[in-house]
Amino acid sequence: MNNSQMLKGILSGVVLHVIAEGPIYGYELVTRLRKLGFTDITGGTVYPIVQKMEKAGQLTSKQLPSPDGPNRKYLFVSPAGEAFLAEFDQEWTALTSIVNNIINVTVITTTSGGIHYGKSKRCIYFKNQSID
pLDDT tens-digit map of 89-109: 999 999 998 888 887 765 555
Residue 32 vs residue 101, higher pLDDT: 32
Q: Which comes out higher in pLDDT, residue 24 or 115?
A: 24
Choose between 31 and 123: higher pLDDT. 31
Higher pLDDT, 7 or 14: 14
Instruction: Kindly tell me the sign of the dihedral angle through the C-alpha atoms of 45, 51, 55, 56.
Output: positive
pLDDT recorded at residue 67:
84
Edge-first strand order for the sheet with 106-109 is 106-109, 115-119, 122-127, 130-131
Instruction: Return the pLDDT at 127.
Output: 45
Calculate the alpha carbon distances from 78 to 13, 58, 73, 109 in Å.
13, 5, 15, 52
Please say whether the beta carbons of 84 and 52 come within 8 A.
no
AA identity, residue 117: Y
11-15, 47-51, 113-117: segment of lowest average pLDDT: 113-117
The answer to whether residues 26 and 46 touch, using CB atoms and an 8 Å cutoff, is yes
Four-residue CA torsion sign, 108, 114, 119, 121? negative
- pLDDT value at position 78? 97
What is residue 107's predicted lDDT score, i.e. its pLDDT? 59
